[in-house]
Amino acid sequence: MNVVIIGKGKMGTLLEQTAIANGMNVLGKADLFDPSALENSLDQVDVILNFSHPDNLEWLLQTISHHSIALVEGTTGYSQTQKDMLFEFSNTHPVFFSANYSLGIAILCQLAKKVSAQLKEEWDIEVVETHHNQKVDAPSGTALALVEALDPEHEFEHVYGRQGSVGKRQKEIGIHALRGGTIPGKHEIHFFGQDEELTLSHNAQSRQIFVNGAIHAAKFMVGKPNGLYDMNDLVSLN
């Protein structure tokens, strides 16, 4: 499998090392400012791994638009316009898109959906995410994915933190972001009932878990027809 990695930071380096360890042929790393590794291998690359900056998206999609290349997309912080652009691209290309490539988070999302369906009418729900002090977007894309799993019909108001005289709790899900230190990522879902609490949580101990999931996704995407895929296509509780 021939792959090109978009992004030259820590994540890009981990992706390159792990891809090589898994027998993949890494043709190079590229980005908007140095696109040569991609532009020079468009007829060879099978899968692109993009875990970089949102500014790379438009250039990337334009560059590969006329080539049969699968895209494994893990960049966070996209605007809704950028997400729509990516979803439209999946009509003509196979695209794997997830805010979090941890297999454990994929299971957590599925658990969240099942538990919420049972408890949401009588229990209160809060989501808390914690990340390192260099993370630029808040709340995390993973936290938003968890909220979507908890509230797929958008029945609840989504409250991002609280301040001042907020009054009695309404039909809402609270979402809270903590930032500090070097924590790769921690996500907690709290279900508060009458005299009891249920907590579902996942703690990432390194970026490597996301890299491992991305490599699984890349292998999965080989030969897939055009369309949009996500972690639910890799793991399932059903």
Which helix (H) or strand (E) element contains residue 175? Answer: strand 172-179
Q: What are phi and psi of 229, to 5 degrees?
A: -120, 155
The neighbouring-strand residues paired with 12 are none
Treating both helix axes as pointing N-terminal to C-terminal, what angle do 141-150 and 103-119 enclose, rounded to 10 degrees? 30
Is 135 designated active site? Answer: yes
What is the token pair recorded at 111? Answer: 């658990």
User: Which residues are within 8 A (CB) of 111 and not within 5 positions of it... i.e. 6 or more apart?
Assistant: 200, 237
Are the beta carbons of 110 and 72 closer than 8 angstroms? no
CA distance 110 to 191: 15
Residue of 8, 53, 135, 186 marked active site: 135
User: Which amino acid, residue 42?
Assistant: L
Sign, CA dihedral 138-215-17-223, equals negative
CA distance 48 to 134: 25
Cα-trace Rg, the chain: 19
Residue of 131, 187, 202, 216 marked active site: 131
User: Which of the residues are catalytic?
Assistant: 131, 135
